Amino acid sequence: MFDDFFIRAMLAGIGLALTTGPLGCFVIWRRMAYFGDTMAHSALLGVALSLFFSLNLMVSVFVVAAVVSLILIVLQKRHGLSADALLGILSHATLAIGLVMVAFMTWVRFDLIAFLFGDILAVTQADVAFVWIGGVVVVAVIAYLWRPLLAATVNAELAEAEGLQPERARVIFMLLMALVIAIAMKIVGIMLITSLLIIPAAAARRFATTPEWMAVMASVIGAFAVIIGLFGSLTYDTPSGPSIVVAALLLFLVSLLPRPGSKAVDANSRG
């Protein structure tokens, strides 16, 4: 039998994978990988503020990531800089400010590696519960907003004309991203969150024929990556978070193998 910490790690990782699957599909379809990276980097600023003001870590990370996403929306409407330039500024600025703040807090014991790359084997029962409760909320909201999110991904102007409020759906989507980053930070770390969002969804794209099926497949592939990565970490004594990402990468490479009659799915595919 496995130790309790390994069972908790498995439950937390699978719960996170089921959550990131459908969210990652929209990241792929909307070409928002750099946005996810920016929000992940902003998590370190949330960690620094949490330590400085003695706030709840996950709440602090969520608030900072949400504020960064809203700042991006406001700056994009000014049309002064391109989206990728704004993302680059926000990404590196929040990461640097977080590191500088931590450097000044000499009275705080701070394990930077754990925050950057996660420590899934250290999750508690409360962490597991938070992952699953947060995951249920995220998936339920995505299911509720599936039509406006998908329509806005295909054609925002048409979605607006149909009264689907794509801008509201976009804001809610960004807040969901912030929530997932807050949940995932302790498990896979700041530097690897985007990988867990993108890689399973990219692998699922080769197997799915409809957007809905791609979302399901992304969750399944992510869960398999967690299982393979944790067993690989246990067997070869490698870091758990990076091992999960490596397992996801291997599954992605398998998905690239040629298959007769295969066809990638995107947000325009409706089956």
4-255 topology per CATH: ABC transporter involved in vitamin B12 uptake, BtuC (1.10.3470)
Alpha-carbon distance values, 95 to 80, 99, 170 (Å)? 23, 6, 24
**Mean confidence (pLDDT) of the chain:** 88
pLDDT tens digit sequence for 33-79: 888 888 888 999 999 999 889 899 889 999 999 999 888 888 877 76
**Per-position DSSP letters for 42-92, written without gaps between them:** HHHHHHHHHHHHT--HHHHHHHHHHHHHHHHHHHHHHTSS-HHHHHHHHHH
pLDDT of residue 264: 59
Task: Report how far residue 175's alpha carbon sits from residue 230's, in angstroms, rounded to the nearest whole number.
Answer: 29
CB 76 within 8 A of CB 83: yes
pTM above 0.85, yes or no: yes
Task: Report which DSSP code applies to 164.
Answer: -
| Predicted confidence pLDDT, tens digits, the chain (271 residues) | 678 999 999 999 999 999 999 999 999 998 888 888 888 889 999 999 998 898 998 899 999 999 998 888 888 777 667 778 888 888 999 999 998 998 888 877 777 788 888 889 999 999 999 999 999 999 999 999 898 888 888 877 777 787 778 888 888 898 999 999 998 888 888 888 889 999 999 999 988 889 999 999 999 999 999 999 999 999 999 999 999 999 999 999 999 988 766 555 666 555 4
pLDDT of residue 271: 44
The SS3 assignment for 176 reads helix
